[in-house]
Amino acid sequence: MTNSIEELAQADVIFVIGSNTTEQHPLIGMRIVEAVRKNGAKLIVADPRKIRLSDFATIDVRLTPGTNLAFINGILNTIVTEGLANEEFIASRTEGYEEFKASVLKFTPEKVEELTGVPAATIREIARIYAKATNASIVYAMGITQHVTGTANVKALANLALITGQIGKEASGVNPLRGQNNVQGACDMGALPDVLPGYQKLSEEDVLNKFAQKWGQNFAHGKGLTVSKMMEEAAHGGIKALYVMGENPVLSDPDSSHVEEGLQNVELLVVQDIFMTETAKFAHVILPGASFIEKDGTFTNTERRVQRVRKALDPIGEAKPDWLILTELIKAFGYEASYTHPKDIMDEINQLVPSYGGITYERLENQGLQWPCPSVDHPGTKYLHKDKFSRGLGKFTPAVYRPAEEQVSEEYPFLLTTGRVQHHYHTGTMTRRSWALDREYPDGFIEINSEDGKALGIWNHSRVKVISARGEIEARAVLTDRIKQGVVFMTFHFGDSPVNKLTNRNLDPDVEIPELKVCAVRIEGVR
Amino acid sequence: MKKVLTTCGYCGCGCNFYLNINKGEIVGVTPKFDHPVSKGKLCIKGWQGFGFVRHRDRLKKPLIRNAAGEFEEASWEEAYKYVVNKLSNIKEKHGGNSIGFLSSARCTNEENYLLVKLARAVLDSNNIDHCARL
């Protein structure tokens, strides 16, 4: 997030697109509801489903999955043609505006209405409300990114913030909500194939020299494969061994049969986890790790706040904290690793990652710190891009449009989109084993528009088969008016209705994120 | 009763709460009233999401697949030795880039850092990623 969660309360306009905030980020969702109810903020919601936030929205739009980009371009077009752009901000803080302006002219609200089904008048009204706000915050999540146009979608939202100057000040910015507790931290720590910890470049000599002092001279500093490509290479023989720590790709990755093929094909699969997950079943060796309740460390939340995790119970059985397993394993390979507590590892991070330079355990004792925090006397950073962007000037990206890769056909007439519910988490490894949560959502279900259900001859709560070009699964039908006709919704929490057997491997060309949000299916009743 | 302040392990909100521990068991959760995100409130997972921690399905010992294809309990020494031998051989034969590492958005910063170090510095592999895209 460029802003802090607290700042949402001060926004007078909040634009939520591709985020079911009350379910996935409940406490942020609550903050948005408060901004509306207590401070009279205007809320704009765009989603394929009528989500809980829709009930509080000034404008609420049902988007067909895969049409975000056209929709955002329509808003941008209106801002340009109605003279709502913030010329002063554009002149002083941005570049590439003229080229962008020319590219967006073809996305008239009328044209966008044809592509998205959202009325032209509504698109214009959204543009006016957003552009005229004193402080407007954009909030998005995987509904924006899990598309073949994921990168283009994010850039289009950045265009929107730049053209109106709604960024770099209190309560104004672009705020991706990071899904998992420490996905921000995993990225910060360099668990990515194309950067070193702290997003430092693999090609910069100073950086490499600095790391060589802690990592030894010959560490690998090339660009590696993304998880999607690793799974492909595992199936094709290029990857011979996989080490999987605390992930469950069989349920979470697209096209699970393909993932299973890769896992079966490797010579060695090491899984470090707390449960026998669907993925661990394929392992050659399993190392039992500890949960967040059983170890010390830090997590970094979606607003870049680094906070302490504290051990409350001993690890179960002979299980060990994951940092200890890795420390002992590095030693077993004959390398030096003298960490006796996660604090020792953070000391090393302090020295190598500038944005974490001043984030020490002593300072985290009472409260978290938001990076960038380069030194021990730095207070941390509430919001980013205040006086300048990381790259200097904010860059406009020319507007483009590309529809979703997979479209409906006679054989597969429905668009399936995926998501989550508040009571479960990701592949459900933990929440499905916490009885008070599993009791509320005990089985896999599919939301179908009531009219569509009627046409298909399906009763509420009857079993249906959901079939895509990749596979078929069964689930319980939930008929509802909260979803657009022609669109169906499932979660990926349930091992017995594994929705990723259906999803496809179409990837965004820039960052290789799979288009999990759009998949063509057909639905049949089960007798 | 002991109260341990910690950060929730579920979503990216990063709420804080106290785990109330009595005789080695979690007996309840108390929200932190002055926390900048949660401000004394929690969602259903914050209140109820700890049940898994002593669930009977937890993995309690290292497991190694035997010749018959079944998992067998092993000591930590045996498990480390197995992993080191196999990975060293594969690295020797096919190079570090034949090994892939999936780190975890559920694990701590320190653990993610160490897995990156294991991949790049110890096993000479560039292939490190996690499920940020999923």
Q: Do the chains contact at B129 and A267, CB–CB below 8 Å?
A: no
Read off the tokens for B71: 């998992």
pLDDT (tens digit, 9 = 90+) per residue, A181-194? 999 999 999 999 99
The closest CB to that of B107, out of A245, A305, A423, belongs to A245
**Bridging pattern class, strands A414-419 and A519-525:** antiparallel
Contacts of A374 (CB under 8 A, 6+ apart): A354, A355, A357, A358
Minimal CA separation from B7 to chain A, in Å: 5
What is the percent of chain A where pLDDT is above 90?
A: 80
Q: Do the chains contact at B125 and A220, CB–CB below 8 Å?
A: yes
Across B85-122, b (16+ Cβ under 10 Å) vs e yields: ebbeebbeebebbbbbbbbbbbbbbbbbbbbbbbbbbb
- Domains and their CATH numbers in chain A: 5-177 (3.40.228.10), 179-223+299-374 (3.40.50.740), 225-288 (3.40.228.10), 414-525 (2.40.40.20)
Q: Do the chains contact at A247 and B102, CB–CB below 8 Å?
A: yes
* pTM of the predicted structure, to 2 decimals: 0.90
Do A449 and B64 contact (CB within 8 A), yes or no? no
Q: Do the chains contact at B58 and A224, CB–CB below 8 Å?
A: no
**Chain B, nearest residue to A418 by Cα:** B134
pLDDT (tens digit, 9 = 90+) per residue, A248-275? 888 888 888 889 999 999 999 999 999 9
Give the model's pLDDT for residue A3.
Answer: 84
**Chain B, nearest residue to A215 by Cα:** B121
Do A308 and A365 contact (CB within 8 A), yes or no? yes
**Chain A, nearest residue to B77 by Cα:** A332
Task: Domain ranges for chain B, please list them.
Answer: 2-54, 60-94, 96-134
What's the average model confidence in pLDDT over B54-66? 96
Q: Kindly indicate whether the ipTM for this predicted assembly is greater than 0.95, answering yes or no.
A: yes
**Chain B, nearest residue to A513 by Cα:** B133
CATH tag, B2-54: 2.20.25.90
The closest CB to that of A186, out of B71, B124, B130, belongs to B130
Minimal CA separation from B91 to chain A, in Å: 9
Does the pLDDT at position B133 exceed 80?
Answer: no
Q: Do the chains contact at B53 and A301, CB–CB below 8 Å?
A: no
pLDDT (tens digit, 9 = 90+) per residue, A147-184? 888 899 999 999 999 999 999 888 898 999 888 899 99
- Residues of A whose CB is below 8 A from B83: 270, 285, 287, 329, 332
Does the pLDDT at position A332 exceed 90?
Answer: yes
Rounded CA-CA distance A260/A279 in Å is 8
Q: Do the chains contact at A220 and B100, CB–CB below 8 Å?
A: no
Q: Do the chains contact at B116 and A180, CB–CB below 8 Å?
A: no
Does the pLDDT at position A500 exceed 80?
Answer: yes
Give the model's pLDDT for residue A224.
Answer: 97
Interface A–B counts its CB contacts (< 8 A) at 434
In chain B, at which residue ranges do the beta strands (DSSP E only) sit?
2-7, 16-22, 25-31, 63-65, 71-73, 99-102, 128-129
Q: Do the chains contact at B14 and A303, CB–CB below 8 Å?
A: yes
Query: What are the φ/ψ torsions at residue B11 (nearest 5 degrees)?
Result: -90, 180
The closest CB to that of B111, out of A25, A314, A322, belongs to A322
DSSP state of A105: T
Does the pLDDT at position A279 exceed 90?
Answer: yes
Minimal CA separation from B17 to chain A, in Å: 10
Give the model's pLDDT for residue A456.
Answer: 96
- Residues of B whose CB is below 8 A from A274: 52, 58-59
| Bridge partners, B2 (sequence order) | B21
Question: What distances in angstroms separate CA A464 from CA A452, A475, A487, A497, A522, one per listed residue?
Answer: 13, 6, 15, 11, 10
Q: Do the chains contact at B37 and A243, CB–CB below 8 Å?
A: no
Half-sphere exposure of A453 (CA within 13 A, CB side): 22
What's the average model confidence in pLDDT over B2-22? 95
Do A290 and A255 contact (CB within 8 A), yes or no? no
Q: Do the chains contact at A242 and B101, CB–CB below 8 Å?
A: yes
**Chain A, nearest residue to B40 by Cα:** A27
